[in-house]
Structure 1
């Protein structure tokens, strides 16, 4: 059976960072890789950089498509991938050299269908030498959904068995938190997961990255993802109360984030619509959830009224 690893990289105007990303993938100590570079209609020099790299390394396949977003690009890569294993990398991030060798070794040794490593956020790539690390193996991967510190929600710090992914795809209609939705769907059908307590994946932060953007589309996407996951989880009988509670909290906090956005940008009508639609879930959250006094007060002002939230959170700040 082939040990080929398909690494899928969506590329969109990453020219400033792409060469470093490609080098960190192509220089992996695990060499049995096909690198699928999906150019999502770049308007800078990204495609030229991909073509330059492909001339030097036969493991690279370039896929050109019209701009459709990161989920569309990843799905396109999945449809063209040949590997027994799958991994995703963003076009401006970097990997430590031993990442895939060690993760695949754990996958085979532990007979896992998904392996997860830790992530570091940094302004520029600073390699971390690999040392033997602790490995946690779970036969109920869905129980890891609420695990902190392992970037469970990210699709990037993982190696997947191709058979596990199957026909699962990224939702192309969501522009934020699409990773979380994809990973949750994967973990709900996974049978054995290994979590490596070592940092391999370097998430390079830039001011132009999506996480810096405060737009309605971002928070609406975040809400849609958390609502979809909540709908999945509450309908299942094989999910522990702890996980159900964690998912419910994430769902309600995404509603509060929408209310916060509406207050901040003076969207009174939208605020009232959201509050009316999800009033019962918000009240249940406030009744059942343990919160600090300050956090409870903050949430209470946002879900009490548009006027109160505006006065408490923004009137005095504008006065200053």
Structure 2
């Protein structure tokens, strides 16, 4: 008897999260993966995306495509971050609905929550306060994606779910020296300092902000888990007007502790200094992951183990990395 496979499109399959989802779905006998490179499909073209969906007979979509970056990139390119992300999610979610795709998972970001939200941040703190100014355009685009999914569910009975990850890192991250997130930026900086025998590495900010970090393999596992929850289990832990679920470890650390752990993993022996003239961003970002825990999923990769895995990947791929 031939096993019936579901056709699953992973948008953004070459990115950090998308590639991790693809790696895990490839192990499944019941999945026929559908992917398209940026050259094959322009996700910012409504006509191209709609034509793609019209020919593919897709059963599920993982919307992992996004324009992402750290504080510097968000501050420098705010128009790109809101414009590109709004276009991609609107095109994909709209076309999925028009062409009969019943199940979709949208990947958001913990920056959707107010800058001074109570910690740990619960799903119902969304839209209860002002956003962090440095990434407000990106956050608004991600909030719009959540509301697109909620609205198609309400009006058309679709099953479009959203997961909000904490700060992610891992293989296929962006290691650009200026436009990357904190972990790849620090891994690269400490590695180059070790190679150059530098006496000191400067880290942006005071080192006091608290951050939570999730390895991308855990994120992929959680994404697939939430996508495949039965309707009753999922509905029990979400509300009609609150369809997103936080994904994280439930544990945070200071940026100073992170930098010291990165130095240990890389083998850097010099001084770690903090440049207080640079912005800290949000004082603390820790997600309340009690909903996902109640649904039966927990992170399994420790920060130090995840950093070692990511540094190994960096060493193996640094010749191909941007910047």
Interval of TM-score (by shorter of Structure 1 and Structure 2): under 0.3
Asked which structure has the greater CA Rg, the reply is 1
Query: Whose relative contact order is higher, 1 or 2, with alpha carbons under 8 Å and at least 6 apart?
Result: 2
TM-score, normalised by the number of residues in structure 1:
0.25
TM-score, normalised by the number of residues in structure 2:
0.25
